[in-house]
Structure 1
Amino acid sequence: MNAGDGPSEGPAGNTHQGTDGSPEAGARLRRLLGGQETAWLVERARRRLELGKSLTGAITLASASPEQRRALERLLGRRAGAGSSLSVSLAEVDRVLRGSGASPDGLAAALELLGGPVRDLAREEADRAAAWRDAHARLDAVVADRPDLSGWRAWLDTTGLVRRITPDTDEARTLLDRLAAVLGRLPSPGIPIGRLAAETCGDAHALDDGEPLGTLALSAARALGGSPYAGEGTADARRRAWAGVGVHLDELSSLVLCLGLSGDDRTATGRVLAAARAAGEPCVLTLRQLRRHEGPLVADMVRICENPIVVAAAADELGPGCPPLVCVNGRPSVAVWALLDLLAAGGARFAYHGDFDWGGIGIAGAVHERVGWQPWRYDAACYGAVASSSPLTGRPRPTPWDPALASAMARRAVRVEEELVLGDLLADLAAAT
C-alpha cells in the first residue's frame, strides 16, 4: 500500500507530526483534504465560515461515490459507514487534523491553507450596503425635502433600477449626484431639456432618451406630475411627463389648444388668433409662436377647461361667438403655461373647470397656484349635483379654492368627468357671449 492510501495515514498512524506550515504538514494536508474526492467537505466547511457559522455539527453528502467514501476513510482512519450517503462530523475532522499534525490549528486553519483567506460575507455585504448608501446620499438629501418624491425613491429601491443601470457604486454615485442636481431644479417652467442638462450636469445630452440619467430623471418627472413612475415609452408620453415639470423637448412639439382669443393685427401670433376667432375655429399654438409674441395678450375673463372635447363642442355650438377658452389638455404643457402667462400679463381673469378626480384636482391646483382662478362649476356643490358611478382612485389632493370639495370627493368616492357636464358648460359659455 502506498503512503496515504489507507487508514494508517489517519490518527492511528502519526508518523508525520510536522508543525503548521511545514512542507511535511502541508503535503499531508493536501493528501487528506486537497483532492477532488474531499472537495465537497472543504467547500461546505468553508461556506459555513463565510456565513459566520461555527465548524460544528455534521455535513452529509447524498449519493457519495466509492472514491469519496475511501477518501473520507483515509482522513478519519476508520470505516465511513454504509449506504449511499456520507456523513461526517466537522468536530471529528478538526480533531483528526490537529492530532495528525496535518493542521495543528485545526480545520479552520486548514481551509485557509488550502484555499486562502476565508471571506467574511456578512462584512462584505455590510460594506456594499454602506457603499450604496453613500452613493445615494446626495439624492436622499434632496428627496428628504420633497415628500412628493418619497414614493418614487422607495420605488427605485424596490425595482433595483439604479443597480440594473450601473452595478458599480462609484459610477452610481456620479450618476445619482447628477440626478440630485437635476431634481433640485424641478419644476423649472419654460426651460429646454438640453439647457437643463448642460447647467446641472455639464453635458447637454445627459437627459436624452435612453441615457441612464435621462431614464432616472424622467421617472422622477413622472412622480412629480402624479403619473406612474415607469409610464409609457412613447415619445409623446415622454414629452408630456417633462412638460409636467416645465421642461420642453423642443419649441414645436409643445402645444396649447384655445378658442375665441381676440389676438391682434400687429404680431404674427396675434394675427393667427384673430383669424381663428373670426372663423370660429379652435387654434393650436406652438411654444415657438408664444415665445416670439411681443407683449401680453389682452382678454377679460378667460375660461379654462381640462379636455379638448369642451373646445370642440364650443366651436360647434358657438363658433365666432365663443368667449375666450383655453384647454390644458391634461398636465399643462410648457406652451399652456406660456399662453396663460401672456394672458395674465394682459390683465385677464380666469375661471376653471376640470375632471372631478384626483388627477384633475392636481392639474387644477397647479393652474390655481400659477395664475389663480375662480371655480367654474368646480366646487363641492357642483360635484355633488352630478350623478356618477365611476369609482374614484388615486391619492387625495387639497382643493384650496374650496376645501369642502376634497372632503366631498373623499367621502363620495366617485369621479365625475368633464363630459358629463358638457351641456352646462356650453350654456355658461353661451350666456357669457
Structure 2
Amino acid sequence: MTSSVPKGLLDWCALDGPSAVLDVVRRRAELGQSTETGRLGAVRLTVAQRREVGRLLGTTWALSDRPLQLRDVAARLREHGLTVLELVERVRGPIELEADVRRTAVETADTEDAAALAELVAAGVPVAEARTWLDEDRSLPVLGSGRRLGTIWEVAAVWCAAPGRGAKPVRLAQLASVHLGDAHALDADQTLGKLVARLAATVHGLERPTRGGKAWRLAWAAIGILCDEVSSRVLALNLHLTGDSHVARLCRESIGEPMWLTLRSLRGDWTAEPGTVFVCENPTVAEAAADTLGADCPPLICTDGTATTAAVDLVGGLAAIGCDLHIRADFDAAGLVIVNQLLAAAPDAKPWRFDTPTYLSHFPSATTDVTDLRTALTHLGTTIHEETLLEDLLTDLRAHAAGRPHR
C-alpha cells in the first residue's frame, strides 16, 4: 500500500534516520505499546540521522537537543492524512502483536504434537511410550517448526514395516533399501535410524542407544531387525579368550598372528583372565609386534583408525572383566577422538605413551608450557604417527613380555 503514501514521505522513510525511527515504532506496536505518543528513547541518532529526521520535524528540532517524541511525528503525519502506525504498516507491512504471535505459535505446536502422537498410535506404538519418546527425544525437530510431523511420518512408516518381536527378522539395510530406497538410511549416524532405535528402546524398556553398539543392536532386535555384524571389525594379537564363542576359538587358533575379529564373531559368552592389554591405532604396530615377538607378545588390539563398534565392544568387554588396558593412537585430532571412544568404554584405561611429554619430546626446540595434550596438538599443529614411535612401542611390549615395567 506504499502507493497511498506521498512520494516525498516515502523518500524520507528510506533515509537512515527515519528508517531507524520506523524500526522502533514497529517494535512498540508488536509489543502493544502506543505508536502515537511517548518518547522514543530507544532511538540513538547520529548528527546526520537527526538532520534527516528533521526534514519532517523541522530544522528547529533538528538543531535542538529535544528528544524524539511520537506526538511530534504524529502531528506532522496528520498533515498527510496518516497516523504513525498507518505509515509504518504501509511502508513495512502489517504488524502482528507479539502476544498474538506467541499464542499462534503455541497453538501450532499443540496441533502438531497431537497429530504426531496420533500418527504413532495409528502405527501401533503404545500411547504412553509414544508420549514419553515425543517428550524426551531431543533429535526430533522443534515443535511448531512445521518439520516434526514429516519426521514422524517417516518414523511411523519404518515402524509399520518392521516385522516385530517374534516374527521372522529382516536385516536393517534390507529394510532401509526396500522401504526408503537407501540401504544406509537407518545407519547409526543417520537421524532417522537414531529416532527409530530410541523409539524401539522406549517401547521395550531397553537402554536408549546413543551410537552403534550393543544397545543399538538390542533396540532393533526388539522390533525384529538384525544389524550388520560383519562389516565392523578389529585387529587382535594374542588375545587369550576362553568360552564357547566363535571369537574364543579364533583367538586360540591364531596365537602369534594378528587376527581380524568381526562383531559377529564377538557374539556369545567369552571371558579372559584379567591382565594387561595394549591398544593401538595402526596395523603396522601389530604386524611389527607379531614379527618381533610372535606368541610372546602381550595381548594387543588395533583399532585400524576410528574405533569401530567391534573395537569398542571388545575393549569394553575386557574392561568389564578387569583387564588393565593401555591405549594410544596417533598424535592428532583423530587420535584424540579414538582415545576418547575407548575411554568411554573403558574409563579406567591408562595412556600408553599418549601424553603431552611424549608428544613434546619430538619438538626439542619448541617453547610451550602447556600440560594438556589437546592444547599442545593445537599449539604445535604437527601430527606424530604411531609408526614414528614404533621402536619405543616394541620396547614396551618386550619389557612387559619379560616381566619388566613399561611406560
Q: TM-score, normalised by structure 2?
A: 0.48
Q: TM-score, normalised by structure 1?
A: 0.45
